[in-house]
Amino acid sequence: MHLKKRILVTGGAGFLGSHLCDRLIAAGHDVICVDNCFTGTKHNVYHLMDDPHFEFMRHDITFPLYLEMDEIYNLACPASPIHYQHDPVQTTKTCVHGSINMLGLAKRTRAKILQASTSEVYGDPEMHPQREDYWGHVNPIGTRSCYDEGKRCAETLFMDYHRQHGVRIKVARIFNTYGPRMHPNDGRVVSNFIVQALRGEEITIYGDGSQTRSFCYVDDMIEAFLRLMGTGPEFTGPVNLGNPHEFTIRELAERIVAMTGSRSKIVHKPLPHDDPRQRKPDIALARERLGWEPRVPFEEGLIRTVAYFEEFLRAL
């Protein structure tokens, strides 16, 4: 028999959070979506607003929250440099105070809690591909540190609440993810290139474009979250979630130009400070413990994402 749960999704009106809310509602759970709408938007969850099993709450998780929950997915935090550098102190607070508040809630209600961590905990990696036992190469005082070190501290808090208080935790290290509902102005390469191509603007590559990234389609990532949350108490993670298939940034730009039939020219700008040269997950642990690997081919995911942005730009 299906067990109905009360599930809290922080950052639930964001890109990943809104897709997670969709899956949880479809599975028959009661979902409370919490978001302060700094980067998330109610537009992403409008289609759920009339569902009796869905509730939207505008709230900033740096302040405590008093609810009764069975599970918590802690996704709240701006995740692109353009947004997390806008208010770096608030970014660190969201990672640290937000985690303390959500872990306190999980401790009180005996809820299972998943932390959306990030591949940024590896910094500019000296190991390639990155495995979970790699401790990273991170600048603690750079312009990206509010996010990188904030997320590293959040992982510390999760592990210590687990060891000290027996809180049931899951830690997901998320690598680049793309798909519909990405923020159009978040400065990430997939959304940036698609919007620039569709508008016929110059496509801006930072550096020579030889730096690599790996891209996982959003549906695959949400499936991984659900599988991770469903594992037994002995498995806490951290576990890498992402697509191990690597592309150069230049390859990505050329694919998007071809796919959109755009006349956009590709231009080069200086590489930002602390921008990692390569990012590729080793997902052996996810394959072994979750039986998971990405299924949606990159071309297919790109087609769906381009279609979303075409519709989005038409509606402006």
The catalytic residues are 147
Contact 66, 99 (CB under 8 A): no
Query: CA-to-CA distance for 33 and 56, rounded, in angstroms?
Result: 5
Angle at 294 between CA 45 and CA 217, to 5 degrees: 35
Long-range pairs for 53-58 at CB < 8 Å and ≥24 separation? 53/25, 53/28, 53/29, 54/21, 54/25, 54/30, 55/30, 55/31, 56/12, 56/13, 57/32, 57/33, 58/34
Give one DSSP letter per residue of 132-194, joined into a string. Answer: TT---B--TTSTTHHHHHHHHHHHHHHHHHHHHH---EEEEEE--EE-TT--TTS--HHHHHH
- Alpha-carbon separation of residue 39 from 21, 81, 112, 189, 205 (angstroms): 16, 12, 26, 17, 23
